[in-house]
Amino acid sequence: MKNITASKLKQIPERYLIAGVDTHKKKHAVVLRTQDAVIHSRFQVGNSRQGFNELLERTRRCMTKVEARGVMFAIEAGGRYWRPLAYYLDGNGIPFRLISPFTLKRRREGDDVDRRKNDYHDAETAAELLRTGAFTETKLAEGRYAELREAYHAHHRLGEEITQTSNLLGSLLDGVFPEFCQVFRDIDSKTALAVLDAYPLPHIIAGMPPEKFQDAMLESNKGMRLMRKKLVAIHEAARDSIGIRAGSRAVAMEVSMLVERLRLLHAQRERTERLLVEIEESLPESKLLLSVDGIGPITVAGLLGELGPIRNYRKAKQLVKMAGINPVQSESAGKRGGRTPMSKKGRPLLRHCLWEACCGLLRYNASFKAWFERLLERPVYGHPLNKREARGAMCRKLLHLVFALVTNGSSYRREGMVSVTV
């Protein structure tokens, strides 16, 4: 069995200076130490080009002083503050490795009983973790893959904001027009937003004849397909509404503002989706992945944006570990836990993308659906899975399929699915 720690230690050349960096918004704390654990310098630099140039200059002077052959940086990957420094070092050809904030915290708490916490201590711990091989190997996203990842993140944030705004709108309607959500299960639909934009209160709708209400809605929304049955149903619900009229004027104003916000967010998400498709079409892997039944362009954009170039991975297991869906074993005194949950140490947006992809596969891909049902219907001695566990296994199988398609340069075969071991 290959020793991962030993292979990582070989990445640190002998007589190299180790620079631990604790990154922050305005200033970074830096500790310079040699591989014999002797600290030679501590200082802070600004999060700017001038500060980064000062960092390299002070590092060079320390290298000359201790007669080091080179330098390797250990950067705590907390938040987004490490990214400018990482790209700066990468552009100058200086090696660096990332240190997990969780690993750093546990190591710091284990070393000091008094649990002291300061910036220089974190930088010193980061340097020590690099020296012992407890770091993460990282390749920075470049070119179209970086654009795709940032666009997918923006698309995800817009989706979360739409959900939050819809929930707020629904909570307001529960007071002034509770019957509205019974007629429109999806208050984000075009017809629902059109009604709320024109008549946010039920007594206004009830004060109009049904024919006049429908004509007014159709006239003010020309070119938009409105559901006439829903218009009839909402008018009937408004006549018997139990909505609160006290303070309804202010609530109506807020409802109108939320409708405007939802329309803006939907337009921005459509704009982001067009950009995702445009970038995705220029990547060689996209056509291979789109050949899978049940996988759409947004899902492919999310997979490629989070994973980067698939050919950079040596094994499909690396994709699984990147997603954090690899099972975690719990064993003590010869006894094992009854369940093996996901590690969830990978990229959360990649897991989200895979989870949504499984919905499309179960609906449109007969091979995946049949395999999923076999996992649920296995006999007791075959360890049948529940739906959540089977969905996790499907995520893993999808990543193996993605790796196989890109590595072999072949499209998905609908009659006989590409054989992937799970």
- Please tell me the distance from the alpha carbon of residue 199 to that of residue 186, in angstroms, as a whole number: 17
Structure tokens at 122: 């974190």
Q: Sign (positive/negative) of CA torsion 130, 136, 142, 148?
A: negative
Q: First CA to last CA across the chain, in angstroms?
A: 21
Task: Point out which residues pair with 43 in neighbouring strands.
Answer: 30
3-state SS, residue 113: coil
Question: DSSP letter string over 152-210?
Answer: HHHHHHHHHHHHHHHHHHHHHHHHH-TTHHHH-S-TTSHHHHHHHHH--SHHHHHTS-H
Strands 16-22 and 70-76: parallel
Question: DSSP letter string over 340-374?
Answer: --B---S-HHHHHHHHHHHHHHHHH-HHHHHHHHH
354: which residues sit within 8 A by CB, 6+ positions away? 303, 323, 325, 395, 398, 399
pTM (2 d.p.): 0.85
Which one of 3.40.50.300, 3.30.420.40, 3.30.300.130, 3.40.50.460 gives the CATH number of domain 4-140?
A: 3.30.420.40
**What pLDDT tens digit does each residue of the chain (422 aa) get?**
357 888 888 889 899 999 999 999 999 999 999 998 899 999 999 999 999 999 999 999 999 999 999 999 999 998 889 999 999 999 999 999 999 888 888 888 887 766 677 889 999 999 999 999 888 888 888 899 999 999 999 999 999 999 999 999 999 998 899 999 889 988 888 899 999 998 988 988 888 898 999 888 888 888 788 888 999 999 999 988 888 888 888 988 999 999 999 999 999 999 999 999 999 999 989 999 999 999 999 999 999 999 999 998 999 999 998 998 887 776 666 666 666 677 788 889 999 999 999 999 999 999 999 999 999 998 888 888 888 889 999 999 999 999 999 999 988 876 544 444 44
Strands 39-46 and 70-76: unpaired
- CATH code of 146-278, in short, is 1.10.287.4070
Q: Where are the domains of the chain?
A: 4-140, 146-278, 284-408
